[in-house]
Chains A and B, each alone.
Chain A
Amino acid sequence: MWLYAARRILLAIPIALGVTVICFGLVYLAPGDPVQTLLPPDATQADVAYLKQVYGFDKPIPIQYLKWLSRAATGDLGTSIQTNRPVLTEVTRALSHTLIVSVGAVIVAFPLAFMLGTLAAFYVGRAPDRLATGISVIGVSVPNYWLGIVLIIVFAVQLRVLPATGMGPEGSDSFDVTRWAQLKYAILPVITTATVPLGIIMRSTRAAVAEILTQDFIQTLHAKGLGRIAVLRHAVRNALPQVLAVMGLQFGYLVGGSILIETIFTWPGTGFLMSKAILTRDIPLLQGAMLILALCFVAINLAVDLLQTTIDPRIKRG
Chain B
Amino acid sequence: MTDATIQASLQTGAEEKLPQAIARSYWRTVGRRLRYDYVTLFFILAIALIALAAIFAPLVAPFDPNKTSMLYRLKPMGYKGFLLGTDELGRDMLSRLIYGGRMSLMMGLAPVVLATSIGGMLGVVAGFAGGWVNMLIMRTMDVFYAFPSVLLAVAISGTMGGGVANGLVALTLVFIPPLCRVSEAATTQIRSRDFVEAARASGASTLSIIFYHILRNVLAPVFIYASSLISVSILLAAGLSFLGLGVEPPTADWGLMLSTLRQSIYVQPLICALPGVAIFIASLSFNLVSDGLRQAMDIRA
Q: Which residues of A contact B (CB under 8 A)?
A: 14-16, 18-19, 21-22, 26-27, 29-31, 137-138, 140-143, 145-147, 149-150, 152-153, 157-158, 252-253, 255-257, 259-260, 263-264, 274-275, 277-279, 283, 286-287, 290, 293-294, 297-298, 301
Further contacts, 17 of them, CB under 8 A, given A141-B231, A286-B158: A18-B139, A19-B147, A27-B159, A29-B156, A141-B280, A143-B276, A143-B279, A149-B258, A150-B276, A153-B272, A252-B148, A257-B150, A257-B151, A264-B262, A279-B244, A290-B151, A297-B148
In the complex, chain A residues whose CB is within 8 Å of the CB of B269: 153, 157-158
Q: Choose among B244, B269, B275 the residue with the greatest number of A CB atoms under 10 Å from its CB.
A: B269
- Residue B273 at the A interface, CB < 8 A? yes
Q: Is the CB of B139 within 8 A of A14?
A: yes
Q: Is the CB of B265 within 8 A of A286?
A: no
Q: Is the CB of A137 within 8 A of B276?
A: no
A243 vs B148: C-alpha distance when bound (angstroms) = 19
In the complex, chain B residues whose CB is within 8 Å of the CB of A263: 242-243
- Residue B129 at the A interface, CB < 8 A? no
In the complex, chain B residues whose CB is within 8 Å of the CB of A14: 139
B250-280 vs A, Cβ < 8 Å mask (1 yes, 0 no): 0000000010001001100100110111011
Binds A, one of B29-37, B47-55, B281-289: B281-289
A145 vs B258: C-alpha distance when bound (angstroms) = 9
Shortest CB-to-CB span from A78 to chain B, Å, is 14
10 contacts between A and B (CB under 8 A): A15-B146, A18-B139, A18-B142, A140-B231, A140-B287, A141-B280, A146-B275, A150-B276, A157-B269, A260-B150
Q: Is the CB of B146 within 8 A of A297?
A: yes
Tell me how many residues of B have a C-beta within 8 Å of chain A.
Answer: 43
Q: Is the CB of B154 within 8 A of A256?
A: no
Shortest CB-to-CB span from A92 to chain B, Å, is 17
A236 vs B155: C-alpha distance when bound (angstroms) = 39
- Residue B161 at the A interface, CB < 8 A? yes
A206 vs B48: C-alpha distance when bound (angstroms) = 31
Nearest-CB residue, chain A, relative to B161: A31
Q: Is the CB of A259 within 8 A of B291?
A: no
Query: Using a CB-CB cutoff of 8 Å, which residues 127-166 of chain B contact chain A?
Result: 139-140, 142-144, 146-151, 154-156, 158-161
CB < 8 Å neighbour of B235 from A18, A22, A143: A143
- Residue B293 at the A interface, CB < 8 A? no
Q: Is the CB of B161 within 8 A of A22?
A: no
Nearest-CB residue, chain B, relative to A37: B159
Q: Is the CB of A22 within 8 A of B144?
A: yes
Shortest CB-to-CB span from B298 to chain A, Å, is 15
- Residue B239 at the A interface, CB < 8 A? yes
Q: Choose among B148, B149, B291 the residue with the greatest number of A CB atoms under 10 Å from its CB.
A: B148
Q: Is the CB of B148 within 8 A of A152?
A: no
Q: Is the CB of A138 within 8 A of B284?
A: yes
Given contacts A138-B284, A259-B154, A263-B243, contact A149 B273 (CB under 8 A): yes
Q: Is the CB of B284 within 8 A of A18?
A: no
Interface of chain B: mostly helix, strand, loop or mixed: helix
Shortest CB-to-CB span from A158 to chain B, Å, is 7
CB < 8 Å neighbour of A22 from B147, B243, B258: B147
Q: Is the CB of A145 within 8 A of B239?
A: yes
- Residue B238 at the A interface, CB < 8 A? yes
CB < 8 Å neighbour of B158 from A253, A256, A264, A274: A274
In the complex, chain A residues whose CB is within 8 Å of the CB of B272: 149, 153
Q: Is the CB of B243 within 8 A of A260?
A: yes
A16 vs B147: C-alpha distance when bound (angstroms) = 11
CB < 8 Å neighbour of A19 from B146, B149, B231, B288: B146
B187-223 vs A, Cβ < 8 Å mask (1 yes, 0 no): 0000000000000000000000000000000000000
Q: Is the CB of A137 within 8 A of B151?
A: no
Shortest CB-to-CB span from B44 to chain A, Å, is 16
Q: Is the CB of B265 within 8 A of A259?
A: no
A277 vs B142: C-alpha distance when bound (angstroms) = 27
Q: Is the CB of B284 within 8 A of A260?
A: no
Q: Choose among A16, A141, A145 the residue with the greatest number of B CB atoms under 10 Å from its CB.
A: A141
Nearest-CB residue, chain A, relative to B140: A18
Shortest CB-to-CB span from A77 to chain B, Å, is 14
Shortest CB-to-CB span from A300 to chain B, Å, is 10
In the complex, chain A residues whose CB is within 8 Å of the CB of B155: 26, 274, 286, 290
A287 vs B280: C-alpha distance when bound (angstroms) = 31
CB < 8 Å neighbour of A150 from B150, B235, B273, B291: B273
